[in-house]
A and B are shown apart, each in its own frame.
Chain A
Amino acid sequence: MSERAAKITPADGEEQDDDQITDSATPDAVTEVDTDADAGSEPTPKPVTTGAESVIRALENAGVEYAFGVQGGAIMPVYDALFDSDIYHVTMAHEQGAAHAADAYGIVSGEPGICLATSGPGATNLVTGIADADMDSDPLVALTGQVPTAFVGNDAFQETDTTGVTTPVTKDNSFSSDPDRVGSDVSEAFALAREGRPGPTLVDLPKDVTKAETDREPDEPRVPETYEVQERADPEIVAAAAERLENANRPVMLLGGGVIKGEASEACREFAIEHEIPVVTTMPGIGSFPEDHELSMEMAGMHGTGYANMAITHCDTMLAIGTRFDDRLTGGIETFAPDAELIHVDIDPAEISKNIHADYPLIGDAETVVEQLRESVTTSPKATKWRAQCQQWKSDYSMAYDAPEDEPVQPEFVVEALDEATADDTIVTTGVGQHQMWACQYWTYTEPRTWVSSHGLGTMGYGLPAAIGARFAADDDQDVVCIDGDGSFLMTLQGLSVAVRENLDITVAVLNNEYIGMVRQWQDAFFEGRHSASDYHWMPEFDKLAEAFGAAGFRIDEYDDVADTIEEAIAYDGPSVIDVHIDPQANVYPMVPSGGDNGQFALAEDQL
């Protein structure tokens, strides 16, 4: 890596382009040398000779194009096998970044993202990203090196019980102890990660197993027989649910992340529009329904719009699809949609009645079940008055903010300006905190798989590595924008070195208020303004830091800079960082206090 780094002239992104393009194009240039087969036929891959080669073959068979990871002692045989593969490996600066990048790759592409790390610290550094993927049901495969089997259990150098550590945060994991089985274990992990409710899987790979000789080709990616997924919901319950919907006076559709993962966005759109049902999304469900549509009430929950929260609180029938009713959505259980009969569509039976009792449990694939409902619902609910009420709420609780010229820049303005400067299919990634909420509220999402964020786990530092992963999954002409906070960005900004090395066209806008802003907001509201450990007045100058890494750095201090600087940063062909100095006192509203009543959201601090 040092050779390549030496080519980079700091603070001058343009000159490196040629090198970088050549570098990233290299994998395309690599073609299998085919000696046996006739000209014109598919090249025959080299036979597998080691466990490691079988691991890589399993990934190739599954159609994997990219892998994100960091080298290390126990994973070296796998990397050695990867050296000859067409799979493009993105060397990350930290394993946490590798897991987040793979996670984001999975969100944007729909196919499991792959991350690799060595044993011990490498594996434990992945854990945050794996846990993140687990909470958000993102397809991810983690491959970790392990000390040789003879040393396992003896506290050997860089030994950690990786399957033990990751059991609570993976959909499934395995310790692969047989060179003949190791490739099939990886195939199975890949299949499991995407089948049914997606999630992260992990295979722990002892060094002796990957080094060992084997000629066993891995099996096809297939889930174990014990893993059953139900595709179609019970027709009787579908019929009952359809009748309930037809007779609803105040219907609402609540679309969760499962709608996007189940590729059901289109079906949901058509269903909602056909029957004129107002649509609310959860945070992971953002993008499942176009937010510029009249029926869209946008996001509900703790920092959801006032109108979304009024709609879910007052509805009499809720068609919830692919959501697990997280407390950030429901607020206090006793006041969540208290008048509503709940029709709950989910592919995971365990989500049914876990938090909110489902009156009509519809277990199955989101797209299939919505199609079943479409066939069953013959008359639209008579809800003219309700729709008018929803529109009234939209104007009563509009997301309008003040942005006086003589005051510090308001974050909402920056988010809207970024949205305006980019196309509709732009992918937005974020860290976690106030900036994330503004990115939810003030960006108008219209397409699925364009919103990439850490929802369930709330992982600060997610934004930049996610932007890297998203960049590899995105179309070439699609913009990738990371809206980050100063505290979040500081946690994983070593990823900038990766973005520079790969010359990734990413724009990072750091909404810098020199606070862990969400904590500061809560301290002001609930801890008498005692800013314990939330004041980050020692933040570096992010624009200069970006230049030190070899990225383009920009800075915004006032409104006059906003439009031009954003335009310049977006136009820059490579990674750019805008250090946006926003109003440090800006807060996120509406807000439902933790465990509160969604209908009683606060619009300002004095209402908390």
Chain B
Amino acid sequence: MKRGLDGPKPEERPTPSGRRNEQGIRIDPEVEATHTPRRTVISALVTHEPGVLSDVSGLFSRRQFNIESLTVGPTKNEAHARITVVVEEPDPGIDQIKKQLRKLVPVISVRELEPDAMRRELALVKVDADRPDRVAAVAEMYGGKTVDSCPETATIEVTGARQKIEAAIETFSQFGIREISRTGTTALARGTDSTGASDSASTADEVLSAETANQQRTQSPTHSTTDD
């Protein structure tokens, strides 16, 4: 008996000429659409209740979003907390992160901050204090503050954008770094722009504009994520 079905074999069938890329976008032969990862800051306002941080971090891990840092802290409204996440993903991934985050019930709003948003992180750097005067000079150069010192070590607190912290650490390394502890980035939008405003892509309009924006970005991938 026959094992299988009748019909033209695969090689006898017509095949369409089009293709999609790995992000499911139809490839326009004129403009090859590829998205390269970019670093961005996503700020989420959440209800301040147990388990929310774990919901959020679990979402990132199970959906395999590449997370650079995550900070959380209270806000003006004690019922709310702000979670600031720095991610590095291609545009469709960033869109997906925002949408998936917004789906979590305790999440009130989600927005991606503009490249000019204020971003800060804090580092504690403990160095050998053989040359206390030079350590103090370097600390001053980076606007750092000595928070602890003893004959053997000095611990300096530095805050600022990621690049500044990295530069400070590199400069401190000449003294011999004993330990470093760093926080992730926390951020706020500039001026009257509200960080908590919804950028949740909850309306079709926003999605479409996001899609269009993505395509434009595809064609001119010039993102200056200038930290202040």
Chain A residues proximal to chain B, CB less than 8 Å: 163-164, 167-168, 171-172, 175, 192, 224, 226-228, 230, 233-234, 236-237, 306, 310, 313-314, 325, 333-336, 338-341, 348-350, 352-358, 361-364, 396-402, 404, 407, 585, 587, 589-590, 597, 599-605, 607
Taken together as a complex, chains A and B put the C-alpha atoms of A338 and B28 apart, in Å, by 11
Measured CB to CB, the nearest residue on chain B to A395 is B7
Bound-state Cα–Cα, A339 to B16, Å: 7
Docked-complex contact B5 and A600, CB < 8 angstroms: no
> What's the nearest-Cβ distance from chain B to residue A600, in Å?
4
Looking at the complex, which one of B1, B5, B211 makes contact with A353 (CB distance below 8 Å)? B211
Flag if B202 contacts A398 (CB, 8 Å).
Answer: no
CB of B134 within 8 A of chain A? no
Check if B8 sits within 8 Å of A396, measured CB to CB. yes
Cβ contact within 8 Å between A587 and B3: yes
- Residues B14 and A605 in contact, CB atoms below 8 Å apart: no
Inter-chain contact B202/A361, CB cutoff 8 Å: no
Chain B residues with Cβ below 8 Å from A310 are: 13
Most buried by B among A236, A350, A399: A350
The residue in A334, A335, A597 that gathers the most chain B C-beta atoms within 10 A of its C-beta is: A334
Q: Are A234 and B203 in contact (CB under 8 A)?
A: yes
Q: Which DSSP category, helix, strand, loop or mixed, fits chain A's interface?
A: loop
Q: B residues within 8 A CB of A587?
A: 3-4
Q: Mark B1-39, 1 if CB is under 8 A from A, else 0.
A: 111111111100111111111111110000000000000
- Chain B hits for A226, CB < 8 A: 47, 105-108
The answer to whether B7 and A306 touch across the interface, beta carbons within 8 angstroms, is: yes
Question: Is the C-beta of B58 less than 8 angstroms from some C-beta in chain A?
Answer: yes
Known: A226-B105, A350-B99, A600-B10. A306 touches B16 (CB 8 A): no
Distance of A192 Cα from B205 Cα, bound (Å) = 25
Contact (Cβ within 8 A) A350 B103 = yes
A236 and B205 contact, Cβ closer than 8 Å, known pairs A338-B18, A357-B25, A603-B6: yes
Interchain CB contact under 8 A, B26 and A353 = no
Contact of B26 among A338, A396, A401 (CB under 8 A): A338
Query: Is A175 within 8 A of B51, CB to CB?
Result: yes
Q: Does B62 contact A (CB under 8 A)?
A: yes
Interface size grouping (class) on chain B: 35 or more
Q: Which residues of B contact A234 (CB under 8 A)?
A: 203-205, 208
Q: Contact: B62 with A333, CB < 8 Å? A: no
**Contacts A226-B47, A230-B202, A314-B16 given; does A604 touch B4 at CB 8 Å:** yes
Q: How far is the CB of A441 from chain B (nearest CB, A)?
A: 10
B55 on interface, CB distance cutoff 8 Å: yes
| CB pairs A–B below 8 angstroms (8 shown) | A233-B204, A333-B22, A334-B20, A338-B26, A339-B18, A397-B7, A398-B5, A589-B4
Give chain A residues whose Cβ lies under 8 Å from the Cβ of B16: 313-314, 338-339, 599
Partner of A230, one of B22, B51, B204: B204
In the complex with contacts A167-B55, A334-B19, A357-B24, A314-B14 CB distance below 8 A? yes
Chain A neighbourhood of B23, CB < 8 A: 333, 353, 357
Contact A224 B105 (CB under 8 A): yes
**What residues on A are CB-neighbors of B50 within 8 Å?**
175
A62–B92 Cα distance when bound, in Å, is: 39
Are B13 and A168 in touch, CB under 8 angstroms?
no
Known: A172-B105, A339-B18. A237 touches B5 (CB 8 A): no
Instruction: From B1, B201, B203, B208, name the one whose CB has the most chain A CB atoms within 10 angstroms.
Output: B208
In the complex, are the beta carbons of A167 and B203 less than 8 A apart? no
Complex Cα–Cα for A175 and B108 (A):
20
Q: Which residues from B are CB-within-8-Å of A355?
A: 24
| C-alpha gap A236/B203 in the complex (Å) | 12
Inter-chain contact B15/A599, CB cutoff 8 Å: yes
The answer, yes or no, to whether B224 is at the interface (CB within 8 Å) is no
* Smallest Cβ-Cβ distance to B109: which chain A residue: A226
Q: Are A363 and B207 in contact (CB under 8 A)?
A: yes
B29 smallest CB distance to A (angstroms): 12
A192 CA to B200 CA in the complex, in Å? 19
Q: Select A237's contact among B8, B55, B201, B208, beta carbons within 8 Å.
A: B208
Contact of B96 among A233, A340, A350, A362 (CB under 8 A): A350
Q: Indicate whether A168 sits within 8 Å of B3 (C-beta atoms), given known contacts A234-B208, A361-B208.
A: no
